[in-house]
Structure 1
């Protein structure tokens, strides 16, 4: 039976910009300093993540797992946040203040602290009940099971326990373990030693075969079909079907529900001095010109007054700056990275804003300033908030055929909902 302390919740306070930056960088954990007087989460507690957004807007936006980390200085302690899970709808404190009752003062005090803090048992109980009534059944850990977002943390703990047990056994054995240090792990290919990081084609291929929250199975020789209880997503390699690649275009999504296309080109980012950076090659201006031309074509072919043709904007093309992350990702994850609308990227390029740290042309987090995360992009595409309006397959085929071939991979994805 869990102890009283383990039933208590911790509030973690971060700025929305800080959290987005860490998530977009593909970090599995987020470490930060807290005041020495803050009560320690010990080996770990469920974290209610409060973010401070633009114009001082505060709300509960994520769940996670927080534990104590190694101290950085004699003045501060360290907390480590992991398994961060974004709620589908943020929850404001004004919305739940009445339900918190007498505990509202303590909960709000923790939420207004520099980095948060521990809640009392009563406060934890009240906040837990308020949140459980607003999130999906499978989002909150309980006796009925562990939510999917906590699986990486549990798997990591199990692996660490196994490692510790095996290490202890070997320490007391008479075996020569020197050669074992350099032996590949079971099931690991020796070829991994020849590859420093995934190639751009590998990053594209990962996104071709994965989509968040959906299961994929080969549908034909060159098609993978993804399904869940409501939607179907077909992914096809156009190059294998004889359609030549359009300059810069790597993925094309088509939503049957909203009759729209979204085109994505890929750029691989490298790590330099601890920061992500992508060079600006000679092809980029022409790629952006063609992609923005497609946006203009989509705008001219407006789908009319039907509600399904409504879009948040005219842009249907994006550039994904993908991170060459070597560590394994969760199943169905897209490659870590950020999506930038082509029109925005073209304005930054034409205005001379894409200057790297050494003075040359380059794309960095600091000169982009804003982008869409994987989860934001996937949600917008699935629900038809972005993409073309009124374009047919023939229009797309004409656009692809008129583009210059530069040897890149083109992919088409078709998405539909179950009726």
Structure 2
């Protein structure tokens, strides 16, 4: 005896100019008319026959059906490419959510999962490289200008008076990237936040991350500590924030690759200080090693809390210099990590001035 689950996501509704005639479609299919009542997946050939019959009966649907076919025909990424593409899209969604900008446009990304086109297919208003805010304001970052090896794409998003630039940068093709960093910098306040993505492993019934088995973890934690120390200078007295740390980890639940989703990946956000506190807990007898999971971490920031605090400027260190942000982007790409960098010049606060 076997069972299976089917998941149907309804994203858009299209008005039809007329009713679809079941009997006429059945007549077109002739001996294959039973396919219309078949409960299960069809072969490619039989599925094409059904779609062709529907398109002939109602030509207004033909373009929509072809568009859906192109989406489901995309080759899915495998291995590291899957995790990296999911994390990069999630980082984009985090930034858009934090600044009250719609995520609908993300449904159109990617139109290809080919490594050479992944960044270029990101939706949004393209920004010419000569207008690159990072390059103009931060000076020369190796690889970002002068024809270097770092591939980057810029998109502009807006809602009312709020404006956000999102930069996507990588120095390696998707399959060979070692991870993803989300970097946010507010030019007006000098507010700086860095999030490193990590994936929970499924071990039995629990989702667990094992720091001791990640060869990069110690180096990354040290880097975060250095960033937090560097951001403690030149902070104005009226800059109030809830969490002093500028650096966070996002530990992500395993999710399947879904080309059309705009959902945020479930998981927990922990500040660097919180992670270090968890690492100091004594190991219990029989425990394999230090671990981070939901059972041992009863308090954490979820997507709703994190994006709300980020958008209103309650987290992140104030006073970060332009040079520090540029240095961290360079460091991330040099270590083989992809970077999703959000840059804005808004006054941070709870008010949604200019929001639609």
Structure 2, unaligned stretches of length 5 or more?
A: 1-6, 14-21, 48-67, 103-123, 130-152, 172-177, 347-352
Measure, in 2, the Cα distance between the counterparts of 1:271 and 1:334.
19
**Cα distance change of structure 1 residues 321 and 398 upon mapping to structure 2, 3 Å threshold:** same
The corresponding residue for 1:228 is 159
1:370 CA drift (Å): 1.9
Secondary structure (helix, strand or coil) at the match of 2:295 reads helix
Secondary structure (helix, strand or coil) at the match of 2:292 reads strand
Match 1:218 to one of 118, 122, 126:
126
The corresponding residue for 1:276 is 207
Q: Is the Cα contact below 8 Å between 1:264 and 1:317 reproduced in 2?
A: yes
Matched, 1:303 2:235: yes
Match 1:370 to one of 291, 299, 308:
299
In the TM superposition, what whole-angstrom CA distance separates every residue of 1:64-92 from its partner, at most 9, and x where no partner exists?
xxxxxxxxxxxxxxxxxxxxxxxxxxxxx
The corresponding residue for 1:173 is 33
Secondary structure (helix, strand or coil) at the match of 1:391 reads coil
Using CA pairs below 8 Å that are at least 6 residues apart, which structure has the higher relative contact order? 2
Q: Is the Cα contact below 8 Å between 2:186 and 2:343 reproduced in 1?
A: yes
Matched, 1:206 2:69: no
Q: Is the Cα contact below 8 Å between 1:239 and 1:411 reproduced in 2?
A: no
Q: Is the Cα contact below 8 Å between 2:278 and 2:292 reproduced in 1?
A: no
Q: Is the Cα contact below 8 Å between 2:154 and 2:168 reproduced in 1?
A: yes
**Cα distance change of structure 1 residues 190 and 288 upon mapping to structure 2, 3 Å threshold:** same
Q: Is the Cα contact below 8 Å between 1:236 and 1:412 reproduced in 2?
A: yes
The corresponding residue for 1:323 is 253
Measure, in 2, the Cα distance between the counterparts of 1:397 and 1:332.
29
Root-mean-square deviation (CA, aligned residues, Å) is 4.2
Secondary structure (helix, strand or coil) at the match of 1:186 reads helix
Measure, in 1, the Cα distance between the counterparts of 2:40 and 2:250.
42
- Map 1:247-266; keep pairs closer than 5 Å: 250-266=181-197
Q: Is the Cα contact below 8 Å between 2:84 and 2:180 reproduced in 1?
A: no
1:236 CA drift (Å): 0.8
Matched, 1:384 2:313: yes
1:313 CA drift (Å): 2.6
Measure, in 2, the Cα distance between the counterparts of 1:323 and 1:200.
11
Q: Is the Cα contact below 8 Å between 2:170 and 2:336 reproduced in 1?
A: no
The corresponding residue for 2:168 is 237
Q: Is the Cα contact below 8 Å between 1:199 and 1:324 reproduced in 2?
A: no
Q: Is the Cα contact below 8 Å between 1:223 and 1:234 reproduced in 2?
A: yes
Measure, in 2, the Cα distance between the counterparts of 1:229 and 1:237.
24
**Cα distance change of structure 1 residues 175 and 291 upon mapping to structure 2, 3 Å threshold:** closer
Q: TM-score, normalised by structure 2?
A: 0.57
Secondary structure (helix, strand or coil) at the match of 2:318 reads coil
Q: Is the Cα contact below 8 Å between 2:82 and 2:257 reproduced in 1?
A: no
Structure 1, unaligned stretches of length 5 or more?
A: 1-28, 30-151, 157-164, 241-246
In the TM superposition, what whole-angstrom CA distance separates every residue of 1:173-211 from its partner, at most 9, and x where no partner exists?
34596995344883312623x748972311222034332
1:257 CA drift (Å): 4.8
Secondary structure (helix, strand or coil) at the match of 2:288 reads coil
Secondary structure (helix, strand or coil) at the match of 2:344 reads strand
The corresponding residue for 1:359 is 288
- Deviation larger for 331-340 or 251-260: 331-340
The corresponding residue for 2:340 is 411
**Cα distance change of structure 1 residues 366 and 294 upon mapping to structure 2, 3 Å threshold:** same
Q: Which has the higher strand share?
A: 1
**Cα distance change of structure 1 residues 175 and 264 upon mapping to structure 2, 3 Å threshold:** closer
Match 1:341 to one of 271, 283, 289:
271
Measure, in 2, the Cα distance between the counterparts of 1:395 and 1:195.
34
